[in-house]
């Protein structure tokens, strides 16, 4: 039963088994690296980010959320040609924000999930842009229209993905 | 103090994690990136790429099974079409080989050093960085297969990128449309040189061409060889748009010759050869123009002993026909009577005027 009350004591906290905790992010990273080779448009999606948001909001623990984001982001960084830490920092912030927010509001219905994912996608983009631009001095372009479009696409995919991943949740 | 920590525990941990990562970034920027983060990359790549390799293998197996055993419709028609194409290409090859021989002779004359691809390793693309912000791919060949850092990666269409990091069985290739890449390039017709760079949007631009130069869309861009990675003359792409840029340079957008979004197989140039251009001996292969020249009537042989006046008259006649009989270096050194003993092809340069100096020089 979805709970809409904003008290932390009444919002359900979930946990995940160890295989799910490892395999789902790993699968997201593999798909993210493999599918764009065959379907170039798929690179607009950020599956590791969606998985980070899902785990963070389900666990509702800021520390678990930020650590999940940090680990997933750092592994994603390792696959790129750039320095390690850019995705790590972005996803740490998103993981922390998602779990903090998840502990306060109901995020079980599709509409809330859509809006939250869109918001977190934009937050991720802004932090990523900030890190590359001001910490690494890379010439990075930021286009609001592109980010919002990609955010909407990710939010739409995220809603479907979250409902699929809901089946893997276990009550804490 | 304890109260502050317990109250803001989450925030403090967040700041600590962020601080550590920023510290890590700073270390990587200061030191060589590949050295400072080598181990963690090896672990991550080692965890991800076996799955990608398996997925590629399964995909190829399924596709081969389908194409080789089930879906054979239209193979006859395709075969006939390909044979016609081969015939056309054979004719084209004859023409190109003649041009190449001529180019070799001219290069030898000018003492050019040419760089050729001596050895390549074919590799399958098994993964990507998965990010629009980092344009790189993983291939299924690594240091065990003789791949090393900074090797050129190409396809039949054109250049793809260079090997950035090498692992035992995989390698990371930085593509030319990544914003951190740079390739020495030259425009085919205007011979203007520039630096090919990627943009944050994944486009490719030719940098450092002055704004007062004339560059037309559609012009082919080749590798200049100046970067010491890509051999000279490999196709890079075509100019798609030219507009005024900043700092007195043109903004030239280039459409890559290789489809960088749909790469499946690539070639890694593992060995390049730099050698002096040598004119190839044409004893084995006789040019069609030579055969024609021998069969067609040409300037008749001169008699052994001829009066001085007669020789002068022949020379004058030759010049009148546009034949530069004494123009070549070899010809200048020879006595007048010896020219008549040259092959017939040299006696009829007007049939193929541009080849006349090249014909004389190797001899």
- Which residues on adjacent β-strands are paired with residue B42? none
DSSP code, position B231: P
Q: Would A8 be classed as within a structural domain?
A: no
Section B338-349 average pLDDT: 39
Pick from A37, A82, A85: CB nearest B21: A85
Q: How far is A37 from chain B (nearest CA, A)?
A: 6
More confident residue, A43 or B275: A43
- Which residues on adjacent β-strands are paired with residue B272? B117
More confident residue, A115 or A103: A115
More confident residue, B61 or A70: A70
Q: Which pLDDT score, from 0 to 100, does residue B358 have?
A: 38
Q: The domain containing residue A88 runs over which residues?
A: 13-31+42-167
Section B240-256 average pLDDT: 87
- Tell me, what CATH number does A72's domain have? 1.10.1760
Angle made by CA atoms B249, A137, A96, in degrees to the nearest 5? 140
Residue by residue, DSSP assigns B156-218 as SSSEEEEEEEE-SS-EEEEETTSTT-EEEEEETTT--EEEEEE-TTS-EEEE--BTTS---TT
Work out the mean pLDDT of chain B and round it to a whole number.
76
In angstroms, rounded to a whole number, what is the distance separating the alpha carbons of residues B104 and B190? 22
Helix then strand count (H, E) for chain A reads 6, 2
Q: How far is B261 from chain A (nearest CA, A)?
A: 6
A interface test, pick of B22, B131, B203 with most A CB neighbours within 10 Å = B131
The pair of three-digit structure tokens given for residue B59, joined into one six-digit string: 């995909």
Angle made by CA atoms B85, B86, B88, in degrees to the nearest 5? 65
Nearest residue in B to A47, CA atom: B130
DSSP code, position B350: G
Q: Would A4 be classed as within a structural domain?
A: no
The pair of three-digit structure tokens given for residue B18, joined into one six-digit string: 């962020």
Q: Would A6 be classed as within a structural domain?
A: no
> Would you say A171 and A14 are in contact if contact means Cβ atoms under 8 Å apart?
yes
Helix, strand, or coil (residue B138): strand
Pick from B21, B43, B127: CB nearest A88: B21
Q: Is the predicted pLDDT of residue A2 greater than 70, yes or no?
A: no
Q: Would A36 be classed as within a structural domain?
A: no
Q: How far is A26 from chain B (nearest CA, A)?
A: 8
Q: How far is B30 from chain A (nearest CA, A)?
A: 11
> Would you say B136 and B175 are in contact if contact means Cβ atoms under 8 Å apart?
yes
Q: Which pLDDT score, from 0 to 100, does residue A39 have?
A: 87
Pick from B10, B134, B199: CB nearest A82: B134
Angle made by CA atoms A38, A40, A44, in degrees to the nearest 5? 135
Q: Is the predicted pLDDT of residue B4 greater than 80, yes or no?
A: no
Q: Which pLDDT score, from 0 to 100, does residue A83 have?
A: 87
Work out the mean pLDDT of chain A and round it to a whole number.
88
Section A114-118 average pLDDT: 95
**CB contact set of B278 (below 8 Å; sequence gap of 6+):** B104, B108
In angstroms, rounded to a whole number, what is the distance separating the alpha carbons of residues A171 and A4? 17
Question: pLDDT digit string (tens) for A65-99?
Answer: 999 999 999 999 999 888 899 999 999 999 999 99
Sign of the dihedral through C-alpha B114, B115, B119, B120? negative
Section B342-349 average pLDDT: 38
Q: Which pLDDT score, from 0 to 100, does residue B131 have?
A: 80
B interface test, pick of A85, A102, A121 with most B CB neighbours within 10 Å = A85
Q: Which pLDDT score, from 0 to 100, does residue B202 have?
A: 85
Question: pLDDT digit string (tens) for A13-44?
Answer: 788 999 999 999 999 999 999 998 888 888 88
Q: Is the predicted pLDDT of residue B317 greater than 70, yes or no?
A: no
A93 shares contact with chain B (CB less than 8 Å): yes
> Would you say A143 and A51 are in contact if contact means Cβ atoms under 8 Å apart?
no
pLDDT > 90: percent of chain B: 25
Q: Which pLDDT score, from 0 to 100, does residue B298 have?
A: 52
Number of folded domains in chain A? Answer: 1
pLDDT-derived band at B186 (thresholds 50, 70, 90) equals very high
- Cross-chain Cβ contact B40/A141 below 8 Å: no
pTM here is 0.71
Find which of A31-45, A137-151, B31-45 is predicted with most confidence, using mean pLDDT: A31-45
Q: Which pLDDT score, from 0 to 100, does residue B363 have?
A: 33
* Touching A: B residues 251-310, CB under 8 Å: 261-264
pLDDT-derived band at A165 (thresholds 50, 70, 90) equals very high
Q: Which pLDDT score, from 0 to 100, does residue B341 have?
A: 40
Question: pLDDT digit string (tens) for B211-243?
Answer: 888 888 999 999 988 888 998 888 999 999 998
pLDDT-derived band at B312 (thresholds 50, 70, 90) equals very low
Question: pLDDT digit string (tens) for B87-132?
Answer: 889 888 888 988 888 887 787 777 666 667 778 899 999 998 888 7
Q: Is the predicted pLDDT of residue A53 greater than 90, yes or no?
A: yes
> Would you say B250 and B195 are in contact if contact means Cβ atoms under 8 Å apart?
no
B164 shares contact with chain A (CB less than 8 Å): yes
Question: pLDDT digit string (tens) for B277-297?
Answer: 565 555 445 555 555 455 555
Among residues A136, A60, A19, the alpha carbon closest in space to that of B180 is found at A136
More confident residue, B346 or B30: B30
Q: Identify the helix (H) or strand (E) that includes residue B114.
A: strand B113-128
Pick from B18, B132, B179: CB nearest A43: B132
Q: Which pLDDT score, from 0 to 100, does residue B300 have?
A: 52
pLDDT-derived band at B276 (thresholds 50, 70, 90) equals low
* Touching A: B residues 337-356, CB under 8 Å: none
């Amino acid at each position: 039963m979805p709970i809409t009350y904003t008290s932390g004591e009444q919002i359900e906290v979930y946990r995940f088994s160890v295989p799910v905790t490892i395999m789902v992010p790993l699968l997201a990273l593999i798909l993210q690296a493999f599918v764009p080779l065959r379907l170039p448009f798929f690179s607009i999606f950020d599956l590791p980010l969606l998985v980070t948001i899902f785990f963070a909001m389900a666990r509702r623990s800021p520390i678990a959320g930020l650590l999940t984001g940090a680990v997933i982001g750092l592994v994603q960084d390792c696959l790129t040609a750039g320095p390690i830490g850019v995705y790590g920092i972005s996803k740490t912030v998103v993981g922390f924000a998602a779990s903090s927010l998840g502990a306060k509001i109901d995020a079980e219905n599709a509409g809330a999930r859509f809006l939250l994912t869109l918001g977190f996608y934009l937050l991720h983009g802004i932090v990523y842009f900030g890190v590359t631009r001001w910490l690494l001095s890379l010439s990075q372009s930021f286009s609001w229209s592109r980010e919002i479009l990609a955010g909407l696409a990710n939010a739409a995919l995220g809603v479907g993905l979250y409902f699929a991943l809901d089946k893997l949740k276990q009550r804490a | 103090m304890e109260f502050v920590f317990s109250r803001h525990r989450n925030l403090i941990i967040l700041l600590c994690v962020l601080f550590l990562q920023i510290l890590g970034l700073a270390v990587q920027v200061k030191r060589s990136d590949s050295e400072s983060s080598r181990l963690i990359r090896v672990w991550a790549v080692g965890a991800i790429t076996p799955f990608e390799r398996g997925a590629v293998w399964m995909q190829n197996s399924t596709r081969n099974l389908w194409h080789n055993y089930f879906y054979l419709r239209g193979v006859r028609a395709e075969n006939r079409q390909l044979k016609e194409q081969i015939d056309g290409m054979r004719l084209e090859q004859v023409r190109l080989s003649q041009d190449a021989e001529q180019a070799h002779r001219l290069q030898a004359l000018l003492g050019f050093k040419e760089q050729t691809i001596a050895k390549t390793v074919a590799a399958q693309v098994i993964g990507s960085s998965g990010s629009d912000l980092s344009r790189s791919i993983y291939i299924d060949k690594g240091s065990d297969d003789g791949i090393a850092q900074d090797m050129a990666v190409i396809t039949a269409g054109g250049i793809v990128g260079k090997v950035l990091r090498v692992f035992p069985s995989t390698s990371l290739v930085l593509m030319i449309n990544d914003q951190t890449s740079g390739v020495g390039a030259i425009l085919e017709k205007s011979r203007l040189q520039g630096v090919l760079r990627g943009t944050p949007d994944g486009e490719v631009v030719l940098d450092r061409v002055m704004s007062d130069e004339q560059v037309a869309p559609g012009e082919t861009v080749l590798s200049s060889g100046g970067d010491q990675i890509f051999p000279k003359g490999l196709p890079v792409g075509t100019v798609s748009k030219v507009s005024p840029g900043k700092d007195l340079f043109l903004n030239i957008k280039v459409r890559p010759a290789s489809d960088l979004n749909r790469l499946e197989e690539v070639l890694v140039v593992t060995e390049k050869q730099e050698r002096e251009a040598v004119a190839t001996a044409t004893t084995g292969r006789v040019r069609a123009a030579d055969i024609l020249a021998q069969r067609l009537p040409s300037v008749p042989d001169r008699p052994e002993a001829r009066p001085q006046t007669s020789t002068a008259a022949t020379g004058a006649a030759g010049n009148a026909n546009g034949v530069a009989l004494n123009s070549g270096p070899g010809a200048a050194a020879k006595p007048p009577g010896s020219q008549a003993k040259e092959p017939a092809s040299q006696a009829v340069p007007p049939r193929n005027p541009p080849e006349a100096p090249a014909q004389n020089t190797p001899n």
